Amino acid sequence: MARIKPQALLQQSKKKKGPTRISVTTIILCNLIVVLIVFFLFATYRHWSQRSRLQTDSRLTGVSFSEDEDAFVDPKKSDVPGYAVLNTSKGDITVELYKESSPEVVDEFIDLCQKGHFKGMPFNRVIKHFVIQAGDNQKAGATEDWTSRGKHNNHLDTSMKHEAFMLGTSKGKRDDKGFKLFITTAPIPDLNEKLIVFGQVVKGQEVVQEIEEVDTDENYQPKSHIGIIKVSLKQKI
């Protein structure tokens, strides 16, 4: 039997081997990876281009942009104090201001505080289980109009504007001298038609009650002087 030479064996083995084939599964996986990479790059580019555009617009309009793309903060609103501290001759009364529900009145109140309008203002009307009023002694104000109806009202509404320790001012046209402060000492639904409620006492309720208990004359004017020494505005308490 004749022996086959090594070179012949090598040529035979090369003839038997065919070209290497790539499976269909491998091709599909590669294509998916490429698509995912392209999609990720496109999404990243779109995110940062949109963020850059929003930041540019915010600088032009004066609105601050936060980390949340949907959250915008108006610097004018964020700078509005949220609290006022009434330093009275009986102690401090801290009031939370309703910036959202009564923005115009709160702005007017803050402006008057900064001008010192309430400095030295007396509490010129004190009606037990009803309201205490700070204002000009020369002008009686609206309190006398409500006394007979509000003081003895038996149908009390429980809504927030009718609760005790609410801060308000008279409705209607007001000048600087006509801006009076009213703090309810009981739920008074009648005041809803007379007052614009723009705050609520959150600290110093005992001071309000102490003022409420002072001796008054037949016109509900305190017999001894009680007044506001100053008003301080605060962002937080």
pLDDT (0 to 100) of residue 202: 97
The alpha-carbon radius of gyration of the chain (Å, integer) is 38
Maximum mean pLDDT: which of 4-13, 29-38, 60-69: 29-38
pLDDT tens column, 55-70: 555 454 444 433 444 4
**Predicted pLDDT at 65:** 39
The C-alpha atoms of residue 26 and residue 16 are separated, in whole angstroms, by 25
Q: Looking at this protein, which amino acid is placed at residue 166?
A: M
What is the predicted pLDDT for the residue at 75? 45
pLDDT at 200 over 80: yes
Alpha helices, DSSP H, located in 151-237:
205-212
**114's torsion region: left (phi>0), alpha (psi -120 to 50) or beta?**
alpha
Q: What is the pLDDT of residues 147-193, one digit of tens each?
A: 444 444 433 344 556 789 999 998 876 655 678 999 999 988 767 77
Q: Which residues contact residue 172 at a Cβ distance below 8 angstroms, ignoring those fewer than 6 apart?
A: none
Average pLDDT over residues 141-148: 48
pLDDT at residue 73 greater than cutoff 50: no
Classified as helix, coil or strand, 214 is coil
Determine whether 187 is exposed, middle or buried from the number of CB atoms within 10 Å of its CB (0-12, 13-18, 19+).
middle
Which pLDDT value is given to residue 155? 39
The residue type at 116: G
What residue type is assigned to position 164 of the chain?
A
What's this model's pTM, rounded to 2 decimal places? Answer: 0.61
Note the pLDDT tens digit of each residue in 79-120: 779 999 999 999 999 999 999 988 999 999 999 999 999 999
**Nearest-5° Cα angle at 18, 13 to 22:** 140
72 has pLDDT over 70: no
| Domain locations along the chain | 25-73, 80-234
Q: How far, in whole angstroms, is CA 70 from its chain's centroid?
A: 17
Q: For the ranges 46-55, 144-153, 189-198, 222-231, which has the lowest average pLDDT?
A: 144-153
Least Cα distance to 132 among 177, 180, 194, 171 occurs for 180
Find the mean pLDDT for residues 70-76: 44
CATH architecture of the domain 80-234 equals: Beta Barrel (2.40)
Cα–Cα distance, 230 to 113 (Å, whole number): 8
